[in-house]
Structure 1
């Protein structure tokens, strides 16, 4: 959950590193640092606690070079501090290292190899750079010392290493954590995400787990674990710099909320034909229709999207669906059905918890599909099949458009499978038309920003806690809505099945407690309203979000009607804006909430 950049062969290395780190700040912003050097061997190491702007303020005009590495950190080992910030150096100052991931056996390494070394900080990364130094002191060349260290280390990592005595080379390796090599005419770059280096190149080479790469200005050499040279074609990143800029928006989150109608229309374009039928690879459809149970595996927002997807998939396909947290499933795998099919949901395609489940299902020879926003990501490469979300880059930590894109693509998939099976509920469902209606309704809700902002001020300006309640898919939306509110505004928010309040949770209701009720299901609307009355009688300050056909004059937000299966795609929009305005009004950073990072690449 950190961001790495590197450059070799360009005069303005410092500027490129800083600009790259700015693009990766969504991956971690506890601290940051850069190291630059050049042919004259004037070395510069600058580190700072806090954001990239804090680092930039410490970089003087003398900090220049043609080779460098940089890092933005989300703390795992050791508190956020300048001494724990990367890059880390060996005790003799010869080796400089940045790292993304977690070294599981760092304590054992310290005891076995480094008892005579004085460590400055508390990180597992510092252990590694001293280990490399240890092997170099035993007579190994830098490359061999690096390779030897890789055989000792257990865990996840993406490394970039510089030897001051050989500033013409950056040594790179990865295992489980993302890292790419970008190719230029007379230079090469390193980055955790292609968007960090799009200003320099759009041609990238993927690195497989266990490989080591020698990066020079005019070439790269990839070696597998046995030392064999590997040749791999580069690919062209299908991103535009304008896609990753805020433009006139004050925050990425607001831009990404506004992007959602466009994303819906893009999904229609990518996954339906001219007559509105779903168009999905026949191999995927064949595998799912031949399965007896679908397992959706995900984390966080994607997990919440999975619950909505379950409702749609079961209705359309008539195949049972289970939804599981990746972090639990990987270590407590349930008894599987005879013909399971796995769907992995991940915005980044790099989610470590989900990847460790995929490794296990691959070992079992079970078919898998990844729904992700990032082509060429680890989960995409390692699953049997991929369906892209086509949502465009999502930078804000709080996911919005990736959530709705996941649900929309799952709906298209459900339609395609249902049609193949000849299910009536699927054949009668015009997915292209219904998603186009969704896009229009999303725009209608988004246009009510000022109304929602005022309501947020009325309901959430002073509260410490809040509740979202609903039944069925409205409960699933409540889970996601509460996650949005808590992760960026720091209001203690929980999503509950409305009928469960009286089984314990209603004890938490006090005078003025905000309770948001979501009502989009005709079958359960009256029951949810009854639950709202129960909390109101105990002092709750109720806020109702309801479909027009189920609304009452006293409801705070009324949403135009859409197809019953797709209501979560529109009922979630006001809750995203509620979280946004609650955060804004409290003076917090909307895009970069404390303690969180966007791409969760550690278990």
Structure 2
């Protein structure tokens, strides 16, 4: 999660920018930089590595400008280096960027053909050149940004500084968060309220698709149609040690909405977006030598592992055993020496998963940990660490950690498939492109929230709910049922849709909501036949599908949630959004403690 800060101040802003960026260090980064206006001219200072390196650079070569933007970067396009560090600039504009520009290659080719000269390997520099071209065509800064935004595809937030404009910063967001801070004769821009806490307690959060024109005395906000709009201004009490809820009622809601951003950063650690290839971590084994893969985890992480089974078997053509760690550790599983065991844990401290890891190590397995905390016990005791870049997850019911686990595991499976020769370079490129698109698709899925909130009013009346899915939608059905149980306390079960007739069909009557997760894929028709069995018995179907699936189903439903079209590979990542929102809004209406549900703990460190 890159960090963005902007300040329209009354004195030199370079060091305050750095201090604000320090509050965003929890997001992770590999380089940093600031840009200010010195005598009206754009001037930058950038450094690879930690913020202390940028501080040292500013100590040697200070900046005195009273307006500026700053950034901490987690590399997506191009290696960590000073040249690839933000802000990126032309002679007219500097930009800081959080997220992924999916179509940067085609835009770059277009811009180069028009005479643009690029200085970095990043997707971000494309934005600077796009805006510059619009400025050269006579548009104002805000018009140039808004016109450029319409050319961009992806999930991102942006901050702009313009040459010669001593009283103007422009910001924009689509999928990644961005907040405005109000001061006395000063204005601020930041990735979240924590960065702005030293300067102001009065903030406003931009909504998806918004752009903003900031001066020292005002903030003019525009919606996705470039029409002026008002957004709520609120007081916040954020300390340096707390993660703020932002404009959300619960941490869980905030974490659901953070997913396009954190998934993009998790993917960025695997994907070479310029070449369309997977970058695997350095490994102490050869994927081609493996004859079996063992994956173990607990709770929500075990459903991420189950999705991974489908991916590894299909893309890497390797048999996979998945087991919950609390069972695996006691089964005395025979393991062939030299095999690979993958353990998945948000905290990296889950007692059963740690015990399973140690069992695997004792039996000669290479071990790879997919964890969100790189200093955790599981991370320290594993041969290889794959970090999910979800950031702190406060809500007990896992949301963004789950989708980041899915993103990491999908990337590993594609990389393994290429390494084993099961995928061609063309196959790899196609699958990488699908993964690149996932954050944008997640941002689109979040727009269903109002429909889902209304649907929750029906779900709260239920005493039982059934979730059905096939293929990778089966683990998602299990996860959907778990989420509903965890936070709303409504009994729910997830089943493979093909198993409906083997027992669960006995439960179906006109009082039972049945959530069917069914993207239009190669097994969609099979799922439709199961829906027909539910409909024939009066079950109240909630169908989550895409436009093609909604049209093809032709079955009456209580509600059909229409998702964007997407490659089948990323459906578990993107379809997680509606099942999480359905559980969340149902729990809110039930009046439960959403962030800290009864009897549950965030990290289960005992058996």
Tell me if both proteins adopt one fold, taking TM over 0.5 as the criterion: yes
Shift of 1:432: 4.2
Distance 1:565 1:309 in 2: 11
**Alignment pair present for 1:503 and 2:507:** no
Q: Which residue of 2 aligns with 1:436?
A: 436
Q: Which residue of 1 aligns with 2:575?
A: 571
Distance 2:561 2:470 in 1: 18
More moved, 540-549 vs 480-489: 540-549
Distance 1:503 1:409 in 2: 34
Partner SS for 1:397:
coil
Q: CA, structure 1 residues 432+245, in 2 after alignment: closer, same or farther (shift >3 Å)? A: farther
Partner SS for 1:469:
strand
Q: Which residue of 2 aligns with 1:360?
A: 359
Alignment of 1:92-107 (within 5 A): none
Distance 1:272 1:527 in 2: 33
Alignment of 1:56-71 (within 5 A): none
Partner SS for 2:444:
helix
Alignment of 1:185-204 (within 5 A): none
Alignment of 1:11-26 (within 5 A): none
Shift of 1:550: 2.1
User: What are structure 2's unaligned runs of at least 5 residues?
Assistant: 1-196, 198-238
**Residues 267-287 of structure 1, C-alpha deviations (whole Å, 9 max, x = no match):** 232222232321122325x34
Q: Which residue of 2 aligns with 1:588?
A: 592
Aligned Cα root-mean-square deviation (Å)? 2.0
**Alignment pair present for 1:558 and 2:551:** no
**Residues 34-74 of structure 1, C-alpha deviations (whole Å, 9 max, x = no match):** xxxxxxxxxxxxxxxxxxxxxxxxxxxxxxxxxxxxxxxxx
Q: Which residue of 2 aligns with 1:204?
A: none
Shift of 1:427: 4.4
More moved, 498-507 vs 516-525: 516-525
CA contact (8 A) 1:264 1:435 kept: no
Q: Which residue of 2 aligns with 1:597?
A: 601
Alignment of 1:13-52 (within 5 A): none
Q: Which residue of 2 aligns with 1:351?
A: 350
Shift of 1:446: 0.7
More moved, 335-344 vs 448-457: 335-344
Distance 1:432 1:391 in 2: 20
Q: Which residue of 2 aligns with 1:292?
A: 291
Q: CA, structure 1 residues 327+426, in 2 after alignment: closer, same or farther (shift >3 Å)? A: farther
Partner SS for 1:574:
helix
User: What are structure 1's unaligned runs of at least 5 residues?
Assistant: 1-198, 200-239
Q: TM-score, normalised by structure 1?
A: 0.58
Distance 1:358 1:375 in 2: 16
Q: CA, structure 1 residues 271+470, in 2 after alignment: closer, same or farther (shift >3 Å)? A: same
Q: CA, structure 1 residues 417+478, in 2 after alignment: closer, same or farther (shift >3 Å)? A: same
**Alignment pair present for 1:457 and 2:457:** yes
Q: TM-score, normalised by structure 2?
A: 0.58
Distance 2:502 2:395 in 1: 36
Shift of 1:255: 0.7
Partner SS for 2:522:
coil
Q: CA, structure 1 residues 502+360, in 2 after alignment: closer, same or farther (shift >3 Å)? A: same
Q: Which residue of 1 aligns with 2:416?
A: 417
Shift of 1:450: 0.9
CA contact (8 A) 2:267 2:407 kept: no
Distance 1:521 1:435 in 2: 18
CA contact (8 A) 2:263 2:389 kept: no
CA contact (8 A) 1:418 1:426 kept: no
CA contact (8 A) 1:243 1:393 kept: no
**Residues 334-366 of structure 1, C-alpha deviations (whole Å, 9 max, x = no match):** 333454210000000000001111122222232
**Alignment pair present for 1:382 and 2:381:** yes
Partner SS for 1:429:
helix
**Alignment pair present for 1:469 and 2:473:** no
Q: Which residue of 2 aligns with 1:494?
A: 493
Distance 2:348 2:572 in 1: 23
Q: Which residue of 2 aligns with 1:136?
A: none
The aligned length equals 363
Alignment of 1:112-261 (within 5 A): 241=240, 244-261=243-260
Partner SS for 1:596:
coil
Partner SS for 2:283:
helix
Distance 2:432 2:317 in 1: 21
Partner SS for 1:517:
strand
Q: CA, structure 1 residues 243+545, in 2 after alignment: closer, same or farther (shift >3 Å)? A: farther
**Residues 553-594 of structure 1, C-alpha deviations (whole Å, 9 max, x = no match):** 756111112111221111121000000000001111111111
Distance 2:492 2:264 in 1: 32
CA contact (8 A) 1:415 1:426 kept: no
Partner SS for 1:493:
strand
Q: Which residue of 1 aligns with 2:530?
A: 531
Shift of 1:241: 4.8
CA contact (8 A) 1:264 1:436 kept: no
Distance 1:509 1:499 in 2: 15
Shift of 1:414: 1.5
Distance 1:359 1:423 in 2: 31
Runs of 4+ off more than 4 Å: 240-243
CA contact (8 A) 2:469 2:527 kept: yes
Distance 2:421 2:382 in 1: 27
More moved, 264-273 vs 346-355: 264-273
Shift of 1:391: 0.8
Distance 2:443 2:480 in 1: 19
**Residues 211-270 of structure 1, C-alpha deviations (whole Å, 9 max, x = no match):** xxxxxxxxxxxxxxxxxxxxxxxxxxxxx9578322222111111111110012112322
Partner SS for 1:248:
coil
CA contact (8 A) 1:317 1:415 kept: yes
